Amino acid sequence: MIKVNSNKFGGIFVEENLLKNSFLDVLKSYVKGEYVKNIDFEVKRNVLKYINIHFSKSTEISKKEELNMYNQLLFLLNTKFQISNKPISFIYEN
């Protein structure tokens, strides 16, 4: 379980697999599934800090599509998981 948000009563916790699968659904609408190598969550003391999405170097996506994908992921985080202001990084591996 990852703590994604907190308030004076405690926090909101999400299963890591649910978060990954939700991300994959969005990502697959922009790139082929085999191009997504890994979705990595940087967690400190069970609190979500960063989200790193690793793609294959051969991933074909325009800057405009990448921006749309980024905005769609932010929207997903905000609406489905009540997460805001979490950095998302796209990493293209060799």
Greater model confidence, 46 or 50: 50
Contacts of 43 (CB under 8 A, 6+ apart): 2, 49
Contacts of 6 (CB under 8 A, 6+ apart): 12, 47
For residues 12-24, give the mean pLDDT. Answer: 86
Tell me: pLDDT of 7 over 70: no
Cβ-contact 48, 16 below 8 angstroms:
no
Statement: the pTM of the whole predicted model exceeds 0.85: no
Cβ-contact 39, 48 below 8 angstroms:
no
Distance linking the first and last C-alpha atoms of the chain: 31
Greater model confidence, 1 or 90: 90
2-93 has CATH 3.30.70 classification: yes
Tell me: pLDDT of 55 over 90: yes
Residue 48: band (very low, low, confident or very high) from pLDDT cuts 50, 70, 90: confident
CA distance 38 to 94: 13
